[in-house]
């Protein structure tokens, strides 16, 4: 039970560089908050696995460590946020990842009569990103984690396109900065505190 349970929806963006642990933490946080976990990376991987048209487009970008174009990604998220299960809240993981996406999210939510309640930013150092992504490549066999060049592209893409989202949000909202270094449960305890304040 969280403090929003009585008052209504709880709408969260989980932000951070690749390898920060967004997916791992989101899997725990969605249960804690009792909201659907919406991961654009997972949605694209589903389409890639099923070889859909969207999957073919997504793969041509994700294999290189690049972002899937905004218009494609925004349309997919808009469709997902219009589903009825989102009315009690959502946990967005991996979106927004560019300023146009952040602006689009504000518009989509306004159109649905919703608003963003929390931006949680998990941060880790570049060196740790590289270590974690190459470990994940061995464990999960993710194509976009396997090649050091692709890893570097993902870091560069994060810095050039995604990190500016923080500058977009900071003047408008409180951004909760979470240190992503530590055991999974330690980091989760830090995140939980945001929702208990
Ligand atoms: P992730 O699992 O979140 O690291 O996402 C894997 C890949 O999917 C990324 O490297 C991108 O190519 C693509 N992707 C995921 N989310 C987005 C997004 N919000 N915008 C554009 N591309 C994305």
Instruction: List Cα–Cα distances, 151 to 3, 17, 64, 99, 131, in angstroms.
Output: 39, 11, 9, 22, 10
Chosen CATH of 9-190 out of 3.40.50.1220, 1.10.760.10, 3.40.50.300, 1.10.3720.10: 3.40.50.300
Q: Is the dihedral of CA 149, 154, 155, 160 positive or negative?
A: positive
Each of the 197 residues of the chain gets a pLDDT tens digit; together they read: 444 544 479 999 999 999 999 999 999 999 999 999 999 999 999 999 999 999 999 999 999 999 999 999 999 999 999 999 999 999 999 999 999 999 999 999 999 999 999 999 999 998 899 899 888 878 877 777 778 888 899 999 999 999 999 999 999 999 999 999 999 999 999 999 999 97
Domain positions in the chain are: 9-190
Q: Is 80 a catalytic residue?
A: no
Q: Is 154 a catalytic residue?
A: yes
pLDDT on residue 61: 97
Rounded CA-CA distance 74/108 in Å is 9
Q: What is the pTM of this model?
A: 0.93
Minimal-distance CA residue to ligand 1 atom 14:
41
Q: Phi/psi of residue 148, each to 5°?
A: -55, -30
pLDDT on residue 137: 78
Minimal-distance CA residue to ligand 1 atom 6:
41
Rounded CA-CA distance 71/98 in Å is 11
pLDDT on residue 141: 75
């Amino acid at each position: 039970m969280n403090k929003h349970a009585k008052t209504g929806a709880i709408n969260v963006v989980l932000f951070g560089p690749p390898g920060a642990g967004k997916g791992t933490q989101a899997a725990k946080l969605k249960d804690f908050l009792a909201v659907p976990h919406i991961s654009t990376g997972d949605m694209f991987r589903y389409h890639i696995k099923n070889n859909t048209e969207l999957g073919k487009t997504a793969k041509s970008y994700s294999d290189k460590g690049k972002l899937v174009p905004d218009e494609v990604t925004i349309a997919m998220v808009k469709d997902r946020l219009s589903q009825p299960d989102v009315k009690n809240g959502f946990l967005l993981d991996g979106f927004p990842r560019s300023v146009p996406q952040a602006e689009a999210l504000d518009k989509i939510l306004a159109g649905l009569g919703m608003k963003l309640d929390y931006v949680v930013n998990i941060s880790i150092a570049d060196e740790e990103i590289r270590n974690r992504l190459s470990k994940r490549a061995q464990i999960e066999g993710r194509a976009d984690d396997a090649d050091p060049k692709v890893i570097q592209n993902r870091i560069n893409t994060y810095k050039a396109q995604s990190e500016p989202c923080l500058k977009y949000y900071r003047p408008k909202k409180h951004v909760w900065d979470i240190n992503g270094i530590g055991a999974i449960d330690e980091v989760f305890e830090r995140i939980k505190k945001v929702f208990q304040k």
